Structure 1
Amino acid sequence: MSMPILYALLAASLFGASTPFAKALAGDVSPVLLAGLLYLGSGLGLTGVRLIRDGRWVESGLKAAEWPWLLGAIGFGGVLGPAALMFGLVHTTGAAASLLLNLEAVLTAALAWLVFKENADARVVFGMVVIVAGGVLLSWPTEEIGATPWLGSLAIAAACLCWAIDNNLTRKVSASDALFIAGAKGLAAGTTNTALALLFGVPLPSLLAGASAMLLGLLGYGVSLVMFVLALRGLGSARTGAYFSTAPFIGATIALFGFGEAANWTFWAAAGLMGIGVWLHLTEHHQHEHEHGLVEHSHGHEHDQHHQHDHADGLNPSERHSHAHRHAPLTHSHPHFPDIHHQHNH
């Protein structure tokens, strides 16, 4: 299993695991404020980790042309998305919302394939469909949903579209510092949701509940998002979104075995569908002759067939390192994903 796939599954595991724990906190903290604290814990925690790692505040390293992508991702995913979701939750049922949230993975893949021109063969598309089908089945209510106001459904669908745009825009800057990207998005989303909660007069939680929510956010939202960005770097938006769609199953598994919740036939059927979908993606083999143009960027790397440059400062090329480097034009053939080095047309 490649490292980008492992990053994607770790992102899904951390986010999925956070759901039952967040549910346990929901009795003490209102949903809007809980979302704000989770995101704030992510943003503040990752910013602190970055300061400790670098020993001081270091510039993001983003190029001028990359800032619009990041600001767009923060605007859609950290501001508009959470606001639309909170509005939708007020005007629809929880069961309907659970089903509608499966739209994020579908819309992420659709935008990646149709707008951003990521490669997709029949195997990958079918794997995506099967994984999403498992997510829909897992969240299918055991009782009748009932009538759902169209305004609430439209708002949640809009939130999913915002996050799908966020995922694809984040891919454009995924070669940059993942800690900075995830920390900036966490601070934006946390500030937005917390401000909304205070605006509506939501009471503040106890110190223990607030601290628990922020710690949970650091792990389930912050570290998970760092893993997600690293996966985007190596897999592209659609495939990362497909692996991340297993998060509901992971959360349900923890709720089942960790919190003693009962499992029904839909859980095991969803597990089978998601297992088939992940297997289809894991066994993908995409290879053809392709051309690399002249590219200059900075990211963590080891020397391989794409990184054969010299180092003037005595760096050991066999060890992983990060610096600005240039890729000369190259034409070759090997198995690959639509990562930061393979964004060519087919």
Structure 2
Amino acid sequence: MGQTLLKPITDTSTNEDNDKRVMYGASCMQGWRTSDAVAKYSGTELHKKIMDTTAFERGRYRDAIRMGYYGIDQDLKKDSRFDHDTSGSTAVAALLTKDNVLYVSNAGDSRAVISTKDGRAIPLTQDHKPKHTKEALRIKNAGGFVENGRVNGSLALSRALGDFKFKNNTQLAPEQQAVTAEPDIIEHLLTDHDEFVVLACDGIWDCLSNQQVIDFVRYKLCEHKSLGPISEELMHYCLAEKGNISGIGCDNMTVIIVAFLRKRKPQEWYDWMAQKTKPQMPAKKAILLASNSDKDAAAATTTVAATANLMTLAAK
């Protein structure tokens, strides 16, 4: 069960950097949620698990990504620090090859959305929800059930790292469990129209749509903001001022924005984006504030802490 704090922790950890091909800004905020050890571990280790595989060295990126996701689960089971940790984490990761093929993977409802020609938002992931036919069938075959849109009436996601109480059918392979770490993987060949990609956890997407997030970033780029501060501003924009029944704006948040330079220098890319038509600032979703008597119910909302992991890798 996700726990909420009496007030949000709004400190942010932000960085930005670039090489010849990409430039990024990344930021995270704990917000209203308590900390999640599985999410923290996954955020620092997932890319290492993928890159340390023989499959990665041989250019078999789909295999490497899949091994990385399952490798996190294997490590968590072996680590005594997580013996009594029942939490889980969603994950989204991106890998860019030397041939400009973008591999995007996810497990859960962290998302990747790319901004392309005229600022059109194109999703590169699909949320994994128990109500989806494919997910519901796997859950049923594993001996579980879907109730109120949740696995066994509890977990709102059908794929995640950790969450081992939903992965305890000893007769089934990892990909057949009620909740699985199996990632969906897509390939996207970059074009000159592709501007940037946003990877973020559900704390962002619960508040704004795919297109609204892209519009927010482009709006700030037209104001000559850089990617790191934009990531911070996006989280603060989504953060709820008060706890609420819907949970909107009350989750932890992670944002990574990656610009595709396409032979431009960083300042040239910023200038290119700043001269484009400025979109309208997106409106926030309306939320229903909780009364005092509702605070306990709001605090007991089930959630899976989410993390976003980015890999912009010049593949061998």
Q: TM-score, normalised by structure 1?
A: 0.23
Largest Rg, 1 or 2: 1
Higher share in strand:
2
Higher share in helix:
1
Q: TM-score, normalised by structure 2?
A: 0.25
